[in-house]
Structure 1
């Protein structure tokens, strides 16, 4: 548990299997999404579900509890080549569940599509659905499906979030989807489900109102009671080793064969970034037919990054919503690699054994300097190398506040890795800061 700096919700369950606020074995968050996929497979009556489930679930739970076995369990789930009885659409919630939703979707060998919501403003595109996450410090969710027809059928929609406390976010998106793309069946999947009896009844009331069915799946379900008021004036500040100024930051443009989407983003200061987005990150929609290309390019990038490692302990970081591809790349970079992502959630740090966030560092976001991002639980000397993966180029001055913090945390080097299409990266030289 940790205390949020948020008047709407004063607490946060800090997950050991999500890869957001705590550095983890990269196979652990991949496995957590895959286990949710197993629960969905059982719920929908996949072929041989009864026979297959016991072995796979036992192995998967063992892998979540014992991270050294997470890779083996994850690869066994992929090898099972599960296919649902009928097509489904997965939607992951930004920012924390973008990778969780992607890894849940990815466990299925066919018949599935995936998209995650976003807080990014892309003026060139129209959001096909929009809704609010009422308790969040950043309430608005957008959804830029390049193919709106992916939501216009009758397929069940699988909504994926890391934690459900009231269920209001799911209710909000269901209302918007049902108004635009009506269907019969919804599934809400999460690692944790803390809904009260009144919250559960709200789902039943919505079912009757909209003539739909809502199924809830989770790895852990229970009830919570929260007392106390957060210290709203507090903030996460800079944390690190200020004497470690000699650690270099090396910028490398790493090539891949993935398609780009040539659209621009706009931040709250009116600045436009024309660098293209990765088309298959999950933000714009993808389906099972795209997975082979992602697998191939993830492996190729991981080989390039593995050659840059100089120490035995490495941290690979995603940035904000860009979690899944860095997580997949980290998983193939060899032994001694941990993974986590930066976040925009403000949390109180306190260094004590029974508290989940021991250290914190805040800085202006590279995507929007009006937004503060945070790095949690990375303390000086724990990692030899730190790799930060970006899906698109950003001005050096925008990313410098983050890398300045990381250079005070790494023992020997910080690598800023910009993923770039081959023809663009050929003309970009490595740049040391």
Structure 2
């Protein structure tokens, strides 16, 4: 197995020889893929593409031609008529350039790629989760919403097709909005198992559409027994050397300081054509393609003129999702210069580097994120650049990423300059979409009037003045599904979690005793947190806030905040509950109702606690999308929470991870209301999201008793709340998103590779045990009575509880990763990676 990228040695041989990992399938696989190790003791290997232009610098002609050939194959499969109506969708971050090259190969297809960067003023046309991603959710932000609304084929492009979950999530989301008859999936390598292939076929039958697949090569990964233990030992041995800010590459000189101080990076003005999109984030049409082709020669001539005389090896380095523009610049440069030109891009993916010709990631440069990413500050990486023998690097970024962090002493240009004699920085203007683009012609008209909120006792066991539910009543419809069946549908991509309900857990007598014991022990602590967050809201957000809780975990907190405002200030605050669904956004009709009845500037969104911050992000994106569509401004998307152990918000009662007893139960502590439901056949464009009122559970209802127990402690904590508020004002409350990073680490370490299956904190862990199929519980060593109910539930469900020494949360629930990336061992049996 030869690969010219690493000195004529296959760049997977180092891992293969030490772990016994095999690529089984087409003969082309070793040329396309190398192997590396993540800095992760729970996962054995990482597939690294040699022709993608992401981790491995490669000839830009080789990179572009792989995508272009796949596009020609897609065009031939579709036929001339269907190819003429096709739209191509690529995946961020790795496949943005590949997808664009596929669109070029089809010839007439407009192109769009998903993005993890929210863009102000641009409404989402869709969004989906990537099951193995360590980054944020994918957004679809076309400038022209009708781009995805046509009936022609949709061509979806990714670099590696492993399980198919991401593809299924995408198709399912878009098919609900813009149904079509045909999809074509394109990838460099198809590594699915036979089960995954069958699952996609069943999915296509279920939605009544044809789904074809094209790949340059196919196969699977075969792992011997004991691979995880040997992988862990390898990582431990090499982690220290690989975790530095730069790892030496071929030739010690590349990792040493220059004999003279490195030259300062130099800016290069490409004279990028005004109004030409820098990529496919908002759509790239055939007309844009023609403009780029016409402008490339002059821009590349400017690059060639700026290169140092005698440069023999030049790297054009793109930036995360910005792959296509630098790829085309590099390809044209390769054509007109005698220098050896290579292309790669930076990435957010952390990988272990080992300096060996048989290993795919030889060196690693780390630098701070510099484009104000949605997932907060963190490291980014450039692989195989240090020690690559480059005389010059042309770093291409977009203007959004041209920030002080980029030019800091540890920023990307400075890091490059420490290893490469000449660094040029070219900044491409970030395309700003035009606003006011009309919606697709079939978009529904907005309702002239929305129904009034539902209230108890007709809907919920709360008194009518405590909360108005901006929901529709689905109590007469059977929505519950067995937990295991529901879990399989969610993880396989066949259904969204909000399309069904879990069967309501009925607590045993022992568990009910635990709830009341926990409530007695924590009522004062809860009362203080309620007081602190309410005082913060009244002082900082609005003197007469409109409380809008996120149903249903936020609703008891909203009621308690309302009660504190009356107790301490004599205020009778309005309080409503609305639905928000991860991956689908907040109920837009509920926002319309609120905007029609209240000043949006007074609205304060309320939730119970933060975990990794997924709902925090979801709300921010949804509010931005709503305001762009409706022309309504003033909603503040920051959530006020009782507890913020994930450090995701600025308005909170505490950042400690402790037991909030309302998390111990389901509807019986939340006004007998179910989780919210969003399903196309039940919720129309003019409807609020739905929920059920479980009247039959009235005998077990402790909703009002919970509220009364906490509110009864308000007088005794009034003085301590005043002191705690003073401490709050003095503290640095800037969100650090520490919870999100912890979840990413746990996801990697335990081989789950889907952050949505990691549920951090006492509240989220309890939900896992009540509603999902838990795999195991991680408990911080020494955690006490706060986890009594968790231990009891785990025992009842046969779920192991693993004590962990260093855990940022009191506990973390892991959902069973039954449908994560599949591979086979030497005996052909499935191996959990």
Contact 2:313 2:390 survives alignment (8 Å): yes
For structure 1, the residue ranges without an aligned partner over 5 or more in a row are 47-82, 260-277, 422-433
1:88 aligns with 2:105: no
1:243 aligns with 2:250: no
Cα distance in 1, alignment partners of residues 172 and 44 from structure 2: 27
Contact 1:250 1:415 survives alignment (8 Å): yes
Over 3 Å counting, the alpha-carbon distance change for 1:149 and 1:337 in structure 2 is same
Over 3 Å counting, the alpha-carbon distance change for 1:6 and 1:89 in structure 2 is farther
Cα distance in 2, alignment partners of residues 120 and 42 from structure 1: 34
**Matching residue within 421, 424, 428 for 1:419:** 428
Q: Which SS does the other structure have where 2:288 is aligned?
A: helix
**Matching residue within 171, 175, 185 for 2:172:** 175
Partner of 2:163: 166
How far is 1:344 from its partner?
A: 0.8
Partner of 1:273: none
Partner of 2:113: 116
Contact 1:381 1:409 survives alignment (8 Å): no
1:353 aligns with 2:357: yes
Partner of 1:267: none
Partner of 1:389: 396
Contact 2:42 2:228 survives alignment (8 Å): no
Contact 2:70 2:105 survives alignment (8 Å): no
How far is 1:353 from its partner?
A: 2.5
Q: How does 1:21-60 map to 2 (within 5 A)?
A: 21-46=55-80
How far is 1:228 from its partner?
A: 1.7
Contact 2:82 2:152 survives alignment (8 Å): no
Cα distance in 2, alignment partners of residues 145 and 172 from structure 1: 18
Q: How does 1:205-354 map to 2 (within 5 A)?
A: 205-226=202-223, 227-228=227-228, 234=239, 236-239=243-246, 241-244=255-258, 245-259=261-275, 279-310=277-308, 311-333=311-333, 334-335=337-338, 336-354=340-358
1:189 aligns with 2:198: no
Partner of 2:720: none
Cα distance in 1, alignment partners of residues 113 and 43 from structure 2: 23
Over 3 Å counting, the alpha-carbon distance change for 1:381 and 1:104 in structure 2 is closer
How far is 1:84 from its partner?
A: 5.8
Cα distance in 2, alignment partners of residues 6 and 214 from structure 1: 35
- Between 20-29 and 35-44, report the one with greater CA deviation: 35-44
Please give the per-residue CA displacement for 1:26-76, whole angstroms capped at 9, x wherever unaligned. Answer: 111110101111221232234xxxxxxxxxxxxxxxxxxxxxxxxxxxxxx
Over 3 Å counting, the alpha-carbon distance change for 1:7 and 1:322 in structure 2 is farther
Over 3 Å counting, the alpha-carbon distance change for 1:157 and 1:252 in structure 2 is same
Over 3 Å counting, the alpha-carbon distance change for 1:37 and 1:9 in structure 2 is farther
Over 3 Å counting, the alpha-carbon distance change for 1:375 and 1:280 in structure 2 is closer
Aligned length: 365
Cα distance in 2, alignment partners of residues 150 and 5 from structure 1: 40
How far is 1:331 from its partner?
A: 1.3
Superposition misfits of 4+ residues, deviation over 4 angstroms: 6-10, 229-236
Q: Which SS does the other structure have where 1:286 is aligned?
A: coil
Cα distance in 2, alignment partners of residues 8 and 255 from structure 1: 47
In proportion to residue count, which structure has more helix? 2
Contact 2:363 2:385 survives alignment (8 Å): yes
Q: Which SS does the other structure have where 1:347 is aligned?
A: coil
- Between 379-388 and 351-360, report the one with greater CA deviation: 379-388
Cα distance in 2, alignment partners of residues 130 and 164 from structure 1: 19
Q: How does 1:127-138 map to 2 (within 5 A)?
A: 127-138=124-135
Cα distance in 1, alignment partners of residues 146 and 179 from structure 2: 12
CA-based RMSD of the aligned residues comes to: 2.2
Partner of 1:103: 101
Cα distance in 2, alignment partners of residues 6 and 220 from structure 1: 27
Cα distance in 2, alignment partners of residues 38 and 9 from structure 1: 36
How far is 1:304 from its partner?
A: 0.7
How far is 1:124 from its partner?
A: 1.8
Contact 1:236 1:362 survives alignment (8 Å): no
How far is 1:225 from its partner?
A: 2.8
Larger RCO (alpha carbons 8 Å, 6+ apart): 1
Over 3 Å counting, the alpha-carbon distance change for 1:6 and 1:35 in structure 2 is farther
Cα distance in 1, alignment partners of residues 77 and 41 from structure 2: 37
Q: Which SS does the other structure have where 2:58 is aligned?
A: coil
Cα distance in 2, alignment partners of residues 11 and 187 from structure 1: 29
Partner of 2:417: 407
How far is 1:133 from its partner?
A: 0.5
Q: Which SS does the other structure have where 1:222 is aligned?
A: strand
Over 3 Å counting, the alpha-carbon distance change for 1:139 and 1:206 in structure 2 is farther
For structure 2, the residue ranges without an aligned partner over 5 or more in a row are 1-34, 247-253, 431-833
Cα distance in 1, alignment partners of residues 272 and 124 from structure 2: 28
Cα distance in 2, alignment partners of residues 289 and 167 from structure 1: 32
Cα distance in 2, alignment partners of residues 183 and 406 from structure 1: 46
How far is 1:7 from its partner?
A: 8.1
Partner of 2:38: 4
Over 3 Å counting, the alpha-carbon distance change for 1:399 and 1:88 in structure 2 is farther
Contact 1:146 1:284 survives alignment (8 Å): yes
Over 3 Å counting, the alpha-carbon distance change for 1:21 and 1:284 in structure 2 is same
In proportion to residue count, which structure has more strand? 1
